[in-house]
Amino acid sequence: MVLSERSLKLGDNPIRKLVPLSLRAEADGVEVLKLNIGQPDIITPRPALDVLQNYKPDILKYGRAKGKETLRSTIASHYNSHVTYDISSDEVFVTTGASEAILLTFFSALDHGDEVIIPQPCYANYIGYAKMAGLHIKALDCDIEDGFVLPFIQDFEECISQKTKAILLCNPNNPTGQYYAKDDLEALAKLVKKHNLVLIVDEVYRPFVYDDTFHSALSLSEILESVIVIDSISKTFSACGARIGCIVSRNKAFLNAVQGYAQLRLCPPDIAQEIAIACYQSYSSYFPKVKEEYRKRRNTAYQRLSKIEGFKTYKPNAAFYNIIELPVASADHFCEWLLRDFRLNNQTLMLAPANGFYLDRKRGKKQVRLAFVLNCDKLNQAFDVLEAALETYEELKV
Ligand SMILES: Cc1ncc(COP(=O)(O)O)c(C=O)c1O
């Protein structure tokens, strides 16, 4: 069969490409400490798991394309009770994870050939989804030297061409673990207004901000009609497998367009929506402890990483990721070598080479992304492995 050109251009997934090597190490009885993927290890809220026991419908029916009213109003009141956004349930559109929300947003707000500005490194799937939707990404470089802060507004403005339709931000950011504060967002809002753009903000890590107060793009009163927020229960509630996310927007025309595409996939799964309702209802009793756990992990990681010689790093202030620059020529090679050849106390380490988070894969060649999805004891073991591995790797070079 001759595959489509689109498929041939898609490229590999930077996070999953090391899986065969990891499986081989595990088959040999080695413990692989996995810091490569944002799959939280924290238990999902109990009431959400109980839904699985108590869900007993007679018929598993199709539901509404935009999701159940009970879930949409639960999400709206969740937002409204934490910050006064005054969101109504009609402004919330339920999707099959934030993943589908990104795709529906691209299809509904942007045309084939349109340009979207994205600071990089960025969540790798934006690149794949942009290819699916025929969009051109204009990547705006952020730098590890200054902790991947948001580029200057002038830099954004210089990227804008006739074809530029949108700016896409991930806030808090995966893969950098950095949060862009209120001032940054307000400055961007002015630019969006001046050039009549759309601001898409992926807020799936919205409550994971450790040293500041989270400021949502939903609060940008100057450009309310031009803001699209993407959210999900995957990370906040450790519920990646439920596949529930949402789009939030005050722009009715945009939501109608989303409805048109969403009707093609009929509806999000019913049981998962019930799970999502239970998640949101558990937020106050559940999330504060989760956040403290991630804060501890972030602190442990920073303490250890800042002591290792030859590293470039910074203290991430949000989400549960950190990019580090290693003293190696190729992080790709180092990550493969770890899984294939390096063991410390029968353990090894799985990291995500960071070049997959850049549009141009020649960038970030020495960088890896860590996800703090192991407890502090295991994290310490992971850093023991990393330190010992770097010493051995260095010796191999000579
Ligand atoms: C920034 C970002 N957006 C979206 C997603 C996808 O989320 P979901 O599981 O809700 O599809 C992820 C998953 O890792 C992510 O990190």
Q: How far is the CA of 395 from the centre of ligand 1 (A)?
A: 38
Pocket of ligand 1 (CB under 6 A): 38, 97-99, 123, 170, 174, 202, 204, 232, 234, 240, 245
Task: Name the helix (H) or strand (E) containing 380.
Answer: helix 376-397
Q: Mind listing the pLDDT tens digit for each residue in 191-237?
A: 999 999 999 999 999 999 999 999 999 999 999 999 999 999 999 99
What pLDDT does 15 receive?
65
Q: Mind listing the pLDDT tens digit for each residue in 31-44?
A: 999 999 999 999 99
* CATH class of residue range 5-43+287-397: alpha beta
**CA gap 232, 238 in Å, rounded:** 10
Pairing of strands 164-170, 198-202: parallel
Q: How far is the CA of 105 from the centre of ligand 1 (A)?
A: 14
To the question of domain 46-283 being in CATH 3.40.640.10, the answer is yes
pTM of the predicted model as reported, rounded to 2 decimal places? 0.96
What pLDDT does 46 receive?
98
Question: Which ligand 1 atom is at minimum distance from the Cα of 173?
Answer: 1
DSSP calls for 23-65? HHHHHTT-EEEE-SS----SPPPHHHHHHHHH---SS-----T
Question: Which ligand 1 atom is at minimum distance from the Cα of 233?
Answer: 10
What pLDDT does 82 receive?
67
**Taking residues 376-394, what's their average pLDDT?**
95
Question: Which ligand 1 atom is at minimum distance from the Cα of 102?
Answer: 4
Select from 44, 204, 248 the residue to mutate for testing ligand 1; criterion: most ligand atoms less than 8 Å from CB. 204
Task: Name the helix (H) or strand (E) containing 336.
Answer: helix 331-341
Question: What ranges do the domains of the chain cover?
Answer: 5-43+287-397, 46-283
Q: How far is the CA of 204 from the centre of ligand 1 (A)?
A: 6
Q: Is the pLDDT of residue 396 over 70?
A: no
Q: How far is the CA of 256 from the centre of ligand 1 (A)?
A: 23
Q: How far is the CA of 103 from the centre of ligand 1 (A)?
A: 12
